[in-house]
Structure 1
Amino acid sequence: MDKALSRIDGNAGARRHFRYFDYVMAAFVAILLLSNLIGASKLATIQGYTFGAGILFFPLSYVIGDVLTEVYGYANARRCVWMGFSALVFMAFMSFVVVAMPPAEDWGGQAAYESVFGSTWRIVLASVLAFWAGEFVNSFVLARMKVWTAGKHLWSRTIGSTFFGQAVDSAIFYPVAFLGVWSNTQVVTVMVTNWLLKVLWEAVLTPVTYAVVAWFKAREGVDVFDEGIDFSPFAKADAV
């Protein structure tokens, strides 16, 4: 840990006013929504490998999630997960309502609009549940590993937390969304492939994570260690 930083526990971090926390939370929610809205509907093929285009940018939300927990502590990261979850639910609700509205007679874009925004209820449910569970696992593992490693070896906890968080994310999303639609082999293959690709992305972005974490810590002036924190996703803000 940088000697210039003051070590505080997770409870103090939850009550502290940070200079840049609101900006990081806004970036986290924005990337989450845009990755699901813009990237999720397109399949891309590069050198014979086909994948959902959103996978190129969605891991950035996990990098920011790592930054949130590492810099601001689990309690503040929990607030962001609930904000992201609420935003996803509202986006899904808005999409259903807008797609279902009868189009004007002279507007010919309904079919294209439905193809982009008309996700099935299974995919929406899978996406929301997978995000919620995966992000909480990601934050929990990172926070616990930070205490275990005494704040050293940031790479081990960013990659380790993504390994477990994305495993939970993928294990929920693909079966809920596609089991019975795809063959069991396809579900397992895509699930494992995308999980490993996301973990690889996290590893590749490790230097970026180091730089961003160092920048925010230097400006916030503290290093949060989640000791004595209630890790329940449902803990009240005034109880953390």
Structure 2
Amino acid sequence: MSETKTVDPDRSGHPAPEHAAFATAAGGYFTQVAVAFTAVLLISNVCVTKGVQFFSGHHLSWGPLQLLPLNTDGAFFLFPLAYVIGDILSEVYGFRATRRIVYYGFGALLLMIACFWLVIKLPTGDLQEDAGAFQSVLGNTPQLAFAGIAGYFVGQFLNSITLVLIKERTKEKHLWARLLGSTVAGEFGDTFVFCSIAATAIGIHTWPDYINYTIVGFIWKTLVEMMVLPISYRCIAFLKKREPSYAPRSRAAIFE
């Protein structure tokens, strides 16, 4: 193994490099990871149109804070994976490459919204008696789409840049701190922005419901990151080992 690829002073005995290591976003597994990220993003932004409430028959409050029922949306089980994959992208390929995927995801979301709008406007004639069902499911897309795009931009940039900045200081050590720290920053920004804009579109109209919706979303997404941490470790180790271009890079090369 060449010295440029030896980045763990604790295991190899070699001194830590001057800069954090990243792989180039060409060939390798970059495309597969990017496609998985975009797919999760698009599917989540369709599932989010359904409001979900757990323990709806129970009402429990602690002062002004509503504890039960728990308010969330239909993307609660899938969307956190976008941040898990975003962490993998940022850790292995760096901020510059992840920023490209954020832009691609933004374009894909805009295309999806435009297609939904166009299909809703198209006439059905006598072909379908329940044509309104399509609009009832996806008719809220302008508000939800704006919420998704705004939250996505804020959250993913916070997530990626936080992870890369921590990695600049820690190099290859303390991966858990980078993954959790970036998730807390990214999920907080995403959840606050998204919930603030999207709440009324899924039936949330009171402050207790809104606060519950925001807190539940943030805590749940952070817990998902913690639960899948062992999988994230394995995926990152797999990619670092098999990406031939993974090597230390200067700060300018990472952020330009």
Give the 3 Å change call, closer, same or farther, for CA 198–225 of structure 1 in structure 2.
farther
User: What letter matches 1:189 in structure 2?
Assistant: N
Q: Map Cα deviations across residues 173-217 of structure 1 (whole Å, 9 max, x no partner).
A: 111223696123322221121011101111111001001001111
Asked whether 1:41 is paired with 2:49, we answer yes
Larger Rg: 2
Query: Which residue does the alignment assign to 2:29?
Result: 20
DSSP-derived class of the 1:55 partner: coil
Asked whether 1:56 is paired with 2:77, we answer yes
Answer yes or no: is the 8 Å Cα contact 2:188–2:218 preserved in 1: yes
Mean Cα deviation higher: 158-167 or 51-60: 51-60
Answer yes or no: is the 8 Å Cα contact 1:74–1:226 preserved in 2: no
DSSP-derived class of the 1:73 partner: helix
Query: Which residue does the alignment assign to 1:129?
Result: 150
Query: Which residue does the alignment assign to 2:163?
Result: 142
| Superposition map of 1:4-15 within 5 A | 5=5, 13=23
Query: Which residue does the alignment assign to 1:188?
Result: 211
Mean Cα deviation higher: 78-87 or 51-60: 51-60
Give the 3 Å change call, closer, same or farther, for CA 226–157 of structure 1 in structure 2.
farther
Answer yes or no: is the 8 Å Cα contact 1:138–1:165 preserved in 2: yes
DSSP-derived class of the 2:72 partner: strand
Give the 3 Å change call, closer, same or farther, for CA 22–226 of structure 1 in structure 2.
farther
Query: Which residue does the alignment assign to 2:198?
Result: 177
Distance 1:45 1:190 in 2: 9
Distance 2:224 2:252 in 1: 32
Find the partner of 2:233 among 204, 210, 228. 210
User: What letter matches 1:215 in structure 2?
Assistant: F
Asked whether 1:116 is paired with 2:125, we answer no
Answer yes or no: is the 8 Å Cα contact 2:159–2:186 preserved in 1: yes
| Superposition map of 1:221-240 within 5 A | 221=244, 222-223=246-247, 227-229=251-253, 231=255, 240=256
What percent of counterpart residues are identical? 30
Task: Identify unmatched segments of 5+ residues in structure 2.
Answer: 8-16, 57-69
Q: Map Cα deviations across residues 101-134 of structure 1 (whole Å, 9 max, x no partner).
A: 2222231232211122212522221111110111
Answer yes or no: is the 8 Å Cα contact 2:71–2:213 preserved in 1: no
| Superposition map of 1:53-132 within 5 A | 53-132=74-153
TM score, norm. by length of structure 2: 0.80
Distance 2:83 2:95 in 1: 14
How many residues align? The count is 229
Task: Identify unmatched segments of 5+ residues in structure 1.
Answer: 232-239
User: What letter matches 1:213 in structure 2?
Assistant: I
Mean Cα deviation higher: 97-106 or 196-205: 97-106
User: What letter matches 1:27 in structure 2?
Assistant: A
Mean Cα deviation higher: 208-217 or 177-186: 177-186
Distance 1:73 1:109 in 2: 47
Query: Which residue does the alignment assign to 1:32?
Result: 41
Task: Give the aligned CA root-mean-square deviation in angstroms.
Answer: 2.7
DSSP-derived class of the 1:51 partner: strand
